[in-house]
Amino acid sequence: MEVGEGMTVSERLEQIEAEVNEREKLIKLKTALEYMVQLVDDRYKPTFQQIIDSAKTLEEMKRVMEVVSKQIGQQAAINLLGI
């Protein structure tokens, strides 16, 4: 169903607002990931960058964020512990 087809003004606004909010979350996650990838171990940067560029859904971006965060945390622990 197209936006507006057989819908009230409120329903149309809700549908558009949901889409706008979804895109806003994607933009924020993508921006954060672009920053975070700079902190990743150089060996993984190209791979993470490709994955970030390929991720299209909120779920994919959240999963990438989780793995990137873990890698950065592990890298910090390795550096601190001298492993």
Instruction: Give just the sign of the alpha carbon dihedral 11, 17, 20, 21.
Output: negative
pLDDT confidence of residue 6? 82
Q: What is the rounded CA–CA span in Å between residue 4 and residue 10?
A: 10
What is the value of pTM for the model shown?
0.76
pLDDT at residue 26, rounded to an integer: 93
What is the reported pLDDT for 7?
86
Q: Where are the beta strands (DSSP E) in the chain?
A: none
Residue-level pLDDT at 65: 95
pLDDT digit of tens for each residue in the chain (83 aa)?
455 578 899 999 999 999 999 999 999 999 999 999 999 999 999 999 999 999 999 999 999 999 999 999 999 999 999 88
